Chains A and B, each alone.
Chain A
Amino acid sequence: MTLKARRPDAFSPGRTPPFEETAKESLADAQLRRNLGKATQTIRRKRAAAVGEMPDWEALREAGRALKTRVMRHLDEYLLRLEESVTRAGGTVHWTRDAGEANEIVAGIVKGHGAREVVKVKSIATDEIKLNEHLEREGIKVHETDLAELIIQLAGEESSHILVPAIHKNRAEIRELFLRKLGVEGLSDDPADLTEAARLYLRERFLSAKVGISGANFAVAETGTVCVVESEGNGRMCTTLPEVLVTLMGIEKVIPSWRDFEVFMQLLPRSSTAERMNPYTSFWTGVSEGDGPQEFHLVLLDNGRTNVLEDERGRQALNCIRCSACLNVCPVYERTGGHAYNSVYPGPIGAILTPQLVGIGRDPGPDSLPWASSLCGACYEVCPVKINIPEVLIHLRGKVTRHKQDRGGLSAKLNPENAAMRAMARVFSDPRLYELAQKAARVGQWPLARGGSIRHLPGRLAGWTEVRDLKPVPRQTFREWWRESRGEG
Chain B
Amino acid sequence: MLERLGHEVEFPFAQTCCGQMHFNTGYQREAIPLVRRFVEVFEPYEVVVSPSASCVGMVRELYPMAAGLAGDEGLRERVEALAPRVFELSEFLVRRLGVEDVGAYYPHRVTYHPTCHSLRMLKVGDAPLRLLRNVRGIDLVELPEAEECCGFGGTFAVKNADTSAAMLSDKCHNILSTGAEICTMVDNSCLMHIGGGLRRGRAGVETVHLAQILASTEERG
Chain A positions within 8 Å of B, measured between CB atoms, are 19-20, 23-24, 27, 33, 313, 331-332, 335-336, 370-378, 380-381, 391, 394-395, 397-398, 400-402, 418, 421-422, 424-425, 427-431, 434, 453, 455, 460-461, 463-464, 466-471, 478-479, 482, 488-489
B162 touches A469 (CB 8 A): no
> With contacts A23-B163, A371-B159, A397-B25 known, is A376 near B116, CB below 8 A?
yes
Residue of A nearest to B30 (CB): A425
Residue of B nearest to A489 (CB): B13
- Complex-state Cα separation, A489 to B10, whole angstroms: 11
- Complex-state Cα separation, A165 to B13, whole angstroms: 54
> With contacts A27-B162, A377-B120, A378-B149 known, is A467 near B192, CB below 8 A?
no
> With contacts A377-B117, A425-B31 known, is A468 near B168, CB below 8 A?
yes
Main secondary structure of the interface of A (DSSP, over half): helix
B25 to chain A, nearest CB (A): 7
Other-chain residue from A331, A371, A380, A460 in contact with B167 (beta carbon distance below 8 A): A331
Other-chain residue from B13, B26, B61, B200 in contact with A397 (beta carbon distance below 8 A): B26
A39 to chain B, nearest CB (A): 16
Answer whether residue B108 sits at the interface, using C-beta atoms and an 8 A cutoff: no
Residue of B nearest to A381 (CB): B120
Can you list 24 contacts pairing A with B, beta carbon distance less than 8 Å?
Answer: A20-B162, A20-B163, A23-B163, A331-B149, A372-B160, A377-B116, A378-B147, A397-B24, A401-B25, A401-B28, A421-B25, A424-B21, A425-B19, A430-B16, A434-B16, A461-B158, A463-B161, A464-B158, A466-B161, A468-B168, A468-B199, A471-B199, A479-B11, A479-B13
- Complex-state Cα separation, A24 to B166, whole angstroms: 10
A425 touches B33 (CB 8 A): yes
Contacts of A23 in B (CB 8 A): 160, 162-163
- Complex-state Cα separation, A33 to B169, whole angstroms: 13
B154 touches A375 (CB 8 A): yes
- Complex-state Cα separation, A275 to B119, whole angstroms: 27
* Cβ contacts B152-196/A at 8 Å (1 or 0 each): 111111111111111111000000000000000000000011011
B34 touches A20 (CB 8 A): no
- Complex-state Cα separation, A464 to B31, whole angstroms: 23
Contacts of A468 in B (CB 8 A): 157, 165, 168, 193, 196-197, 199-200
**Given contacts A332-B160, A428-B17, A488-B11, could you give 6 more A-B pairs where the C-beta distance is less than 8 Å?**
A335-B166, A371-B160, A425-B31, A434-B16, A463-B157, A467-B200
> With contacts A401-B27, A455-B200, A469-B200 known, is A421 near B22, CB below 8 A?
yes
Residue of A nearest to B191 (CB): A471
A371 touches B156 (CB 8 A): yes
- Complex-state Cα separation, A371 to B121, whole angstroms: 18
Answer whether residue B151 sits at the interface, using C-beta atoms and an 8 A cutoff: yes
- Complex-state Cα separation, A460 to B25, whole angstroms: 15
Answer whether residue B37 sits at the interface, using C-beta atoms and an 8 A cutoff: yes
Q: Which of B10-61 contact A (CB under 8 A)?
A: 11, 13-17, 19, 21-31, 33-34, 37, 61
Other-chain residue from B37, B65, B164 in contact with A395 (beta carbon distance below 8 A): B65
B199 touches A394 (CB 8 A): no
A20 touches B159 (CB 8 A): yes
Contacts of A466 in B (CB 8 A): 161, 165
- Complex-state Cα separation, A421 to B155, whole angstroms: 11
A469 touches B116 (CB 8 A): no
B61 to chain A, nearest CB (A): 8
> With contacts A371-B159, A470-B192, A479-B13 known, is A429 near B37, CB below 8 A?
yes
B33 to chain A, nearest CB (A): 5
> With contacts A431-B14, A482-B11 known, is A374 near B152, CB below 8 A?
yes
A375 touches B23 (CB 8 A): no
